[in-house]
């Protein structure tokens, strides 16, 4: 059992780690742009906002499995293949990026408008308002958002397992479902549950530790 | 020092134009504490925000220390804003930063060195009397302390002007007094010109040299504070002054000197027209002694205040209080 479980767990962690990283790299700037380009915000660009908003909505409405299949050519372009753990990171990152953008957007929007006004009153530039005021003030909420993203990606990665991504989801389906090894399925699900619990717990702890409210 | 010329601000609300301030002109001298008082919705908040262009004026000019603020480009405006400190009703402190970091923020933005920041912030902390709160986060500070941090932050860049947007409105009377003392000390010792908007006549009375009364986006009266109290010309000014005198009456009533239960009743809108106290007396087995009362005519509504003594059994008094509350009367047991 363990010799099945450990490699699968490592694959899951590998997929989730890198797809979290890349989806943050893609989604974080989008989230910031959404917040600052909105009408009435600090860098008002209504057309850019509408385009970005539209793209994110379209990407988010795709069922993940379909998006993943559609992105096979991209995976081939970037990592040279469409199947396997590394290849799966590409669609996972792209699928999660618009989600990240929304999470970042809503965190940054929670920041009190008063401190943004303060930023203007002390002559802060737009980048200064973003990096010296908005992001530090939103930090606890951003950490909760990243936690949410990681947990979502664990779920997505389990699904990705079904079409050749590897990891714990793959293990549960191949051994548990197709070979009727219920014990393998149960154990993989338990490991996923523990993983999610652990990450949520850590995220909560971290957010409340740095929150000074 | 500050010259406001024919300033107007129009907001688009759907297809309608809403003129929040209309053709306001005034001159404020160097070293003056100038108050702008008005009820909420009078446009005073918009007016003060037009002075550093947190709101863009629709028409007119604002000239501060010889610079036409209204004609500045974005970059020059940012530079000029550093010379105009501003404090706010809700302090607008960064909750994730300590007192020290909050005060240091404006200095960080101009790229001051760590050493410069350190010595400036320490001096400011001492000036506002918060040396011991240096590494504390705003959530652990009282309202008055938060406003002191905000004042120190507003002073960080050595501004010539301080704009105060209802800086004491969220504070209790005693704290208000200490903040006002600090502001007048800043004027006396640092020579700042202070423009403060408020809806509290007490603030005007305590520290302003001159005051403008604002109503529906217009300035209806500008005079020295003394002149205002002696000979208020506008209706709004008279209403403000009357509100002050009723507050004074209330201070004379000492609940300990009465046997019964002293209540302060506040009511507004339609209830003002109803004989609610009379109904209460008929319904419950209690006696009512009216100690003080007035009805002020405000802009859109009437507000009544009564101070009464109720005598009777505890149960009956409680029932009477519940009855009043059920009829939308604010009841405060003194």
pLDDT for A213 beyond 90 = no
pLDDT for B299 beyond 50 = no
Choose among A181, A163, A20: nearest CA to A92: A20
pLDDT by residue (tens digit) across A179-197? 888 899 899 999 999 999 9
At residue B157, the pLDDT reads 95
> Residue A118: its chain B contacts at CB < 8 A?
86, 88, 92
Mean local confidence (pLDDT), B116-131: 97
Q: A86: domain range?
A: 2-210
Contact call for B95 and A125, based on CB within 8 A: no
pLDDT band per the 50, 70, 90 thresholds, residue B205:
confident
Choose among A122, A135, A42: nearest CA to B107: A122
Q: How far is CA B115 from CA A79, B108, B127, B152, in A?
A: 50, 11, 18, 18
Give the CA count within 13 Å in the CB-facing half-sphere of A52.
24
Distance from CA of B190 to the nearest CA of A (A): 19
pLDDT for B294 beyond 80 = no
Residue B52 touches partner A, C-beta closer than 8 Å: yes
pLDDT band per the 50, 70, 90 thresholds, residue B303:
low
Q: Report chain B's C-alpha Rg in angstroms.
A: 23
At residue B296, the pLDDT reads 57
Residue B44 touches partner A, C-beta closer than 8 Å: no
pLDDT by residue (tens digit) across A135-186? 999 999 999 999 999 999 999 998 888 788 889 988 988 888 888 888 998 9
pLDDT band per the 50, 70, 90 thresholds, residue B251:
low
Lowest model confidence (mean pLDDT) among A72-76, A131-135, B212-216, B227-231: B227-231
Cβ contacts of residue B196 below 8 Å, gap of 6+? B33, B34, B35, B36, B163, B164, B167, B183, B203, B208
Most confident among B7-11, B200-204, B294-298, B321-325 (mean pLDDT)? B7-11
> Residue B82: its chain A contacts at CB < 8 A?
122-123
At residue B247, the pLDDT reads 53
Length of chain B: 334
Return the sign of the alpha-carbon dihedral for residues A46, A48, A51, A56.
negative
pLDDT by residue (tens digit) across A5-42? 999 999 999 999 999 999 999 999 999 999 999 998 99
Mean local confidence (pLDDT), B179-196: 96
CB atoms within 10 A of CB A24: 22
Task: Report the share of chain B in percent with pLDDT over 90.
Answer: 61
Mean local confidence (pLDDT), B173-183: 94
Strands, sheet with B16-28, edge to edge from the N-terminal-most edge strand? B16-28, B2-13, B59-64, B67-68
Nearest to B106 among A114, A122, A210 (CB): A122
Residues 70-109 of B with CB under 8 A from A: 77-82, 84, 86, 88, 90-97, 105-106, 108-109
pLDDT for B254 beyond 80 = no
pLDDT by residue (tens digit) across B18-77? 999 999 999 999 999 999 999 888 899 999 999 999 999 999 999 999 999 999 999 999
Return the sign of the alpha-carbon dihedral for residues B110, B114, B118, B119.
negative
pLDDT by residue (tens digit) across A86-136? 999 999 999 999 999 999 999 999 999 999 999 999 999 999 999 999 999
Distance, CA of A171 to CA of A179 (rounded, Å): 11
Mean local confidence (pLDDT), B233-262: 74
On average, the pLDDT of chain B sits at 89
Q: What is the pTM of this model?
A: 0.81
Choose among A120, A94, A171, A182: nearest CA to B106: A120
Q: How far is CA B254 from CA B249, B259, B322, in A?
A: 11, 11, 24
At residue B274, the pLDDT reads 82
CB atoms within 10 A of CB B111: 7
Contact call for B93 and A115, based on CB within 8 A: yes
- How many structural domains are present in chain A? 1
At residue A150, the pLDDT reads 97
Distance, CA of B286 to CA of A211 (rounded, Å): 52
Nearest to A123 among B82, B88, B90 (CB): B82
pLDDT band per the 50, 70, 90 thresholds, residue B300:
very low
At residue A187, the pLDDT reads 92
Q: For residue A98, what is the domain's CATH number?
A: 1.10.3720.10
Residues 70-129 of A with CB under 8 A from B: 112, 114-115, 117-118, 120-125, 128
pLDDT band per the 50, 70, 90 thresholds, residue B169:
very high
> Residue B78: its chain A contacts at CB < 8 A?
123-125
Minimal-distance CA residue of chain A relative to B162: A121
């Amino acid at each position: 059992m363990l010799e099945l479980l450990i490699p699968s767990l490592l694959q899951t962690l590998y997929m989730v780690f890198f797809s979290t990283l890349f989806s943050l790299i893609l989604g974080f700037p989008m989230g910031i742009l959404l917040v600052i380009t909105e009408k009435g915000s600090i860098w008002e660009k209504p057309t850019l906002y509408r385009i970005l908003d539209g793209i994110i909505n379209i990407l988010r409405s795709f069922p993940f499995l379909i998006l993943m299949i559609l992105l096979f050519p991209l995976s081939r372009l970037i990592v040279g293949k469409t199947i396997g753990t590394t290849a799966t990171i590409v669609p996972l990152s792209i699928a999660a990026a618009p989600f990240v953008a929304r999470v970042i957007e809503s965190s940054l929007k929670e920041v009190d408008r008063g401190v943004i006004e303060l930023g203007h009153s002390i002559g802060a530039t737009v980048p200064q308002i973003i990096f010296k005021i908005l992001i530090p003030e939103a930090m606890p909420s951003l950490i909760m958002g990243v936690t949410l993203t990681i947990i979502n990606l664990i779920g997505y990665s389990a699904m990705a397992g079904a079409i050749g991504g590897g990891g714990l989801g793959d293990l549960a389906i191949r051994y548990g479902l197709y070979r009727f090894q219920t014990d393998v399925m149960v154990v993989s699900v338990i490991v996923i549950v523990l993983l999610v619990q652990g990450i949520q717990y850590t995220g909560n702890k971290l957010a409340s530790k740095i929150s000074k409210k | 020092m500050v010259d406001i010329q024919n300033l107007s601000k129009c907001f688009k609300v759907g297809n309608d134009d809403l003129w929040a301030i209309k053709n306001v002109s005034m001159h404020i001298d160097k070293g003056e504490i100038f108050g702008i008082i008005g009820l909420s919705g009078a446009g005073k908040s918009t007016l003060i925000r037009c002075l550093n262009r947190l709101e863009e004026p629709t028409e007119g000019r604002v000239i501060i220390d010889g610079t036409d603020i209204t004609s500045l480009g974005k970059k020059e405006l940012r530079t000029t804003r550093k010379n105009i400190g501003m404090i706010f009703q809700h302090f607008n402190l960064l909750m994730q930063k300590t007192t020290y970091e909050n005060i240091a923020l404006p200095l960080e933005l101009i790229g001051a060195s760590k050493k410069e920041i350190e010595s400036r912030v320490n001096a400011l902390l001492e000036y506002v009397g918060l040396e011991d709160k240096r590494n504390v986060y705003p959530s652990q500070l009282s309202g008055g302390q938060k406003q002191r941090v905000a004042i120190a932050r507003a002073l960080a860049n050595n501004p010539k002007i301080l704009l105060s947007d209802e800086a004491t409105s969220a504070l209790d009377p005693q704290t208000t007094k200490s903040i006002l003392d600090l502001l007048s000390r800043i004027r006396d010792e640092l020579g700042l010109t202070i423009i403060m908007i408020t809806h509290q006549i007490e603030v005007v009375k305590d520290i302003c040299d001159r005051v403008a009364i604002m109503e529906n986006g217009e300035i209806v009266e500008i005079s020295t504070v003394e002149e205002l109290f002696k000979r208020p010309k506008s209706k709004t000014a008279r209403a403000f002054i009357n509100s002050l005198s009723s507050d004074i009456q209330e201070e004379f009533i000492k609940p300990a000197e009465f046997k019964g239960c002293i209540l302060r009743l506040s009511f507004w809108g339609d209830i003002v027209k109803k004989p609610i106290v009379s109904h209460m007396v008929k319904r419950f087995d209690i006696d009512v002694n009216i100690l003080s009362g007035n009805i002020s005519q405000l802009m859109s509504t009437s507000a009544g205040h009564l101070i009464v003594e109720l005598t009777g059994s505890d149960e009956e008094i409680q029932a009477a209080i519940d009855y009043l509350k059920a009829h939308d009367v604010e009841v405060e047991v003194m």
